[in-house]
Amino acid sequence: MKKSVFLGTLSAAALSAGIASAATLDDVKARGELNCGVTTGLTGFAVPDANGNWTGFDVAVCRAVAAAVLGDPAKVKFVPTTGQTRFTALASGEVDMLARNTTWTFSRDTDLKFDFVGVNYYDGQGFMVRKDLGVSSAKELAGATICIQTGTTTELNLADYFKANNMEYQPVAIETNAEGEQQYLAGACDAYTTDASGLAATRAAFADPENHIILPEIISKEPLGPLVRHGDNEWGDIVMWTLNALVAAEEYGITSANLEEQAANSPNPEVKRLLGSSEDDLGAMIKLDKEWAKRAIAASGNYGEIFAATIGESTPIGLARGLNAQWTQGGLLYSPPFR
Amino acid sequence: MANVHDVPKDTFRLSMLLYDTRYRSLTIQVVIFMLFMAGIAWLIDNTVDNLRALGKDPVFDYSFLGNRAGYDISQRLIEYTNDSTHARAMLVGLLNTLLVSVLGCIAATILGVFAGVLRLSKSWIVARLMTVYVEVTRNVPLLLWILLVYAVFTEAMPAPNAFRPNAEGVAGASMILGDSVAITNRYTAIPNPMYVRDLGTISLGIVHISVNFLVLVAIIAGSIWANRRILAHAAAVQEATGVRPTTWWKSLLTLFGPVVAFLWFMGFHLEYPELKGFNFAGGINVTNSLMALWLALTLYTAAFIAEIVRAGIQAISKGQTEAAFALGLRPGRTMSLVILPQALRVIIPPLISQYLNLTKNSSLAIAVGYLDLRGTLGGITLNQTGRELEAILLMAGIYLTISLIISGAMNVYNKSVKLKER
């Protein structure tokens, strides 16, 4: 009896695991909670506060998706993942999506069987060193010891960059950003390298940020974006268009403050379509209700608001919009039309 | 199904499979075996199904090992660049695993035997100190020890640039052992053995071995063999005449003469580490992750070995010690000539387990970023190629092979020291 119950449970678990990867949307709805993979803690991007509430730039994407799908931005279970565990977590179905400053690359999109649904931060890899090291360019780092998170694209870029410049270096492999921070501060490495945004965020958390500089060289393209499992296009569409909705909202001037007013009175038919106050029912096309995008925007505001609140110039991290400005402002953010 | 045989004596009915005690156990075993196989088949089928559901190829394909690895490894025993293949990165990791395991086993055995013997010391303070060492070390998880030792190295040791003299010509830290060793918060820089003359290298397909090193090993092996012959000859003379010829100078000459002569001829010298740029260069930089892992594994495993040694010694009857004392043997010689050889047969089997434990525990290297097999094949390679199942299975297979080899070799040794019954 016991044995049969055990076997039954096993096969049920196996069956449900098999189904989970097939229709993530139904699974999330049935669960009433979105499992979202984030970093183990990177100030500004994804970090839990004293009460265990996650906040940050990547977290806002998770919350927007939860708001669109489940109607409540709080219904997210954040799963911290390291550079090494993130892909296994997503592939195995432990998380429904990753919003974890992950670089969109060819092999990840194809060979690893994931789908990147867009870019929420255009980044590049940089180096941070102590000011008193007297280094002003990455080209002067020959022979340096460099801390690097394993299992990342930065690891490969670093190897390529030093090879291209015919320089030697000693890599110190670390697992999480917190560990890297500790090693760097202890002086176990001369330089810490990761995405420039990550460096700025890490530096902001130092006791003496003014004693550390980020070198001017940006050695790679790092388009960071949320990703989902390959093969479930329905779910991929939802995450993609939620992200696009946040970007479009900024472009059309829809903010969390004027959301209701825009929905009711906007002269722009696209705004009305986006917010679900026109005749067209865009939500039904992705198996959601009419006001999905409105809720997504209401969760933490439009892209610009999220940026300003989490990593923008008024925060300790102080990142400029740069490439991440709207296309109308000379940046790369460009949402396809909602039609 | 009806019974077809009608001879009453040899009648076999199907029901006998269940009710006849002669067959019942066989029936049960067959049924259990079939259930077991069905379970395994179900697991494999389930894996393949789920892999397919995830859009992954359920066929095990190891061709990714031939692709360019693209990442760098700081601690390596053989040539490796980021242009090398994943297979070579795996080999570098495997050698790193073996390096720390071998170093750990040697150091743990020496420390463990000392601690075990000293725990039985008549001196109260020595015995208690060893008790404290054993109990404190083995009752705290190994991972914590590794992190602790690593933290001591990275937080308490000076950075390499502290060794550079400042404007007043005073350096914040200095090298030890006659300016030959520098312990920094990144690595321990030790002198590099160099030869003026080089006999070249032999290429064994994937690894290049220095001929100088091979010749040195051959000379040492030859010296040890010759020394054993001298000792055997002395024993034979002693058997025949009762007088043992003096051998100490012959032994010294055979053991060290050829080696010193060879090193002198080849122009052996040490290249001392020197601070160049950001780091020490010239010597060998042993990374702190290796040092931390080695020390922690040694301390932890030695505590267990100490207990095994103590148990082995206490298993030898007190009468043996008293007999040795009666023959006039000093306590030290009693221990090394009478007690330890007999204790070995009790010590070896559990010692094998400790060596296996140490080797497998070395996979905790990931905590300090030491790129062993788990760090290369099971870490970066797995992550960059996305072949989780293949990489993990291959890694498990390799660890299994290493463990079986250690176990086999130690069992051979165990056979040679165990009690020979005549």
- In chain A, residues with a C-beta closer than 8 Å to the C-beta of B74 are 170-173
What pLDDT sits at residue B8?
57
pLDDT band at A6 (very low <50, low <70, confident <90, very high): very low
DSSP A311: T
B281 in A contact zone (CB under 8 Å): yes
B41-85 per-position pLDDT tens digit:
999 888 888 877 766 666 777 888 888 888 888 888 888 888 889
Whether residue A21 and residue B54 make contact (CB cut-off 8 A), yes or no, is yes
Q: What are phi and psi of A138, to 5 degrees?
A: -65, -20
Segment B125-154 shows an average pLDDT of: 93
From the list A143, A171, A174, the residue facing B279 with the nearest CB is: A143
What pLDDT sits at residue B294?
94
B280-296 per-position pLDDT tens digit:
887 888 888 899 999 99
Compute and round to an integer the Cα radius of gyration of chain A: 21
Percent of chain B whose pLDDT exceeds 90: 34
Residues 6+ apart with CB under 8 A from A98: A36, A37, A38, A81, A86, A89, A90, A226, A227, A228
Burial code of B188-220, b = ≥16 C-beta within 10 A, e = fewer?
bbbbeeebeeeeeeeeeeeeeeeebeeebeebe
Please report the sign of the dihedral spanned by the C-alpha atoms of residue B200, residue B203, residue B209, residue B215. Answer: negative
B330-381 per-position pLDDT tens digit:
988 898 888 888 888 889 889 989 999 999 999 998 888 888 998 889 888 8
Inter-CA distances, A320 with A160, A331, B187, Å: 28, 11, 38
Nearest to B47 by CA among B382, B389, B377: B389
Which segments of chain A belong to CATH 3.40.190.10? 26-122+224-329, 124-221
Does residue B58 or residue A315 have the better pLDDT?
A315
Q: Which CATH superfamily is domain A26-122+224-329 in?
A: Periplasmic binding protein-like II (3.40.190.10)
What pLDDT sits at residue B10?
66
From the list B50, B278, B279, the residue facing A18 with the nearest CB is: B50
Segment A60-66 shows an average pLDDT of: 94
Chain A neighbours among B 211-240 (CB < 8 Å)?
none
- In chain B, residues with a C-beta closer than 8 Å to the C-beta of A160 are 70, 82
What pLDDT sits at residue A74?
92
A223-253 per-position pLDDT tens digit:
999 999 988 899 999 999 999 999 999 999 9
Residues 6+ apart with CB under 8 A from B414: B345, B348, B349, B352
Q: Check whether A4 has a pLDDT greater than 70.
A: no
**Best mutation site among B44, B54, B154, B377 for testing chain A: the one with the most A CBs within 10 Å?**
B54
Q: Check whether B34 has a pLDDT greater than 50.
A: yes
Contact criterion met (CB below 8 Å) for A119 and A104: yes
Residues 6+ apart with CB under 8 A from B360: B399, B403
Nearest to B334 by CA among B115, B131, B124, B117: B117
In the CATH hierarchy, which fold is given to the domain comprising A124-221?
Answer: D-Maltodextrin-Binding Protein; domain 2 (3.40.190)
Inter-CA distances, B173 with B153, B158, B315, Å: 14, 7, 50
**Best mutation site among A132, A140, A190 for testing chain B: the one with the most B CBs within 10 Å?**
A190
Chain B neighbours among A 189-218 (CB < 8 Å)?
189-190
Place of tokens 């306590």: B331
Burial code of B46-71, b = ≥16 C-beta within 10 A, e = fewer?
beeebbebbebeeeeeeebbeeebbb
- In chain B, residues with a C-beta closer than 8 Å to the C-beta of A88 are 388
Residues 6+ apart with CB under 8 A from A38: A45, A46, A54, A56, A58, A59, A62, A78, A79, A80, A81, A98, A99, A100
A313: buried, middle or exposed (CB in 10 Å: 19+, 13-18, 0-12)? exposed
From the list B42, B72, B154, the residue facing A186 with the nearest CB is: B154
Estimate to the nearest angstrom the gap between the alpha carbon of B243 and the chain centroid: 42
Give dist(CA B96, CA B369) in Å, integer.
12
Does residue B172 or residue B277 have the better pLDDT?
B277
A173 in B contact zone (CB under 8 Å): yes
Query: For residue A132, what is the nearest residue in chain B, using CA coordinates?
Result: B161
Distance from CA of B188 to the nearest CA of A (A): 12
Most confident of the following: A76-80, B25-29, B282-286: A76-80
What pLDDT sits at residue A192?
93
From the list A14, A107, A144, the residue facing B46 with the nearest CB is: A14
Q: Check whether A155 has a pLDDT greater than 90.
A: no
Full set of structural domains in chain B with CATH: 86-155+290-417 (1.10.3720.10), 198-270 (no CATH)
pLDDT band at A309 (very low <50, low <70, confident <90, very high): very high
What pLDDT sits at residue B114?
92
HEC profile for chain B? CCCCCCCCCCCCCCCHHHHCHHHHHHHHHHHHHHHHHHHHHHHHHHHHHHHHHCCCCCCCCCHHHHCECCCCCCCCCCCCCCCCEHHHHHHHHHHHHHHHHHHHHHHHHHHHHHHHHHHCCCCHHHHHHHHHHHHHHHCCCHHHHHHHHHHHHHHHCCCHHHHCCCCCCCCCCCCECCCCEEECCCEEEECEEEECCCCCEEEECCEEEEHHHHHHHHHHHHHHHHHHHHHHHHHHHHHHHCCCCCCHHHHHHHHHHHHHHHHHHCCEEEECCEEECCEEECCEEEEHHHHHHHHHHHHHHHHHHHHHHHHHHHCCCHHHHHHHHHCCCCHHHHHHHHHHHHHHHHHHHHHHHHHHHHHHHHHHHHHHCCCCHHHHHHHHHHHHHCCHHHHHHHHHHHHHHHHHHHHHHHHHHHHHHCCCCC
Contact criterion met (CB below 8 Å) for A25 and A234: yes
Segment A296-325 shows an average pLDDT of: 90
B321-332 per-position pLDDT tens digit:
999 999 999 988
Does residue B13 or residue A21 have the better pLDDT?
B13
Query: For residue B42, what is the nearest residue in chain A, using CA coordinates?
Result: A11
**pTM across the whole model:** 0.79
User: SS3 of A128, please?
Assistant: strand
What pLDDT sits at residue B79?
83
Residue B282 token pair: 């010239």
Query: For residue A23, what is the nearest residue in chain B, using CA coordinates?
Result: B53
Give dist(CA A123, CA B88) in Å, integer.
32
- Mean pLDDT, all residues of chain A: 87
Whether residue A150 and residue B379 make contact (CB cut-off 8 A), yes or no, is yes
Q: Check whether A13 has a pLDDT greater than 60.
A: no
B107-120 per-position pLDDT tens digit:
999 999 999 999 98
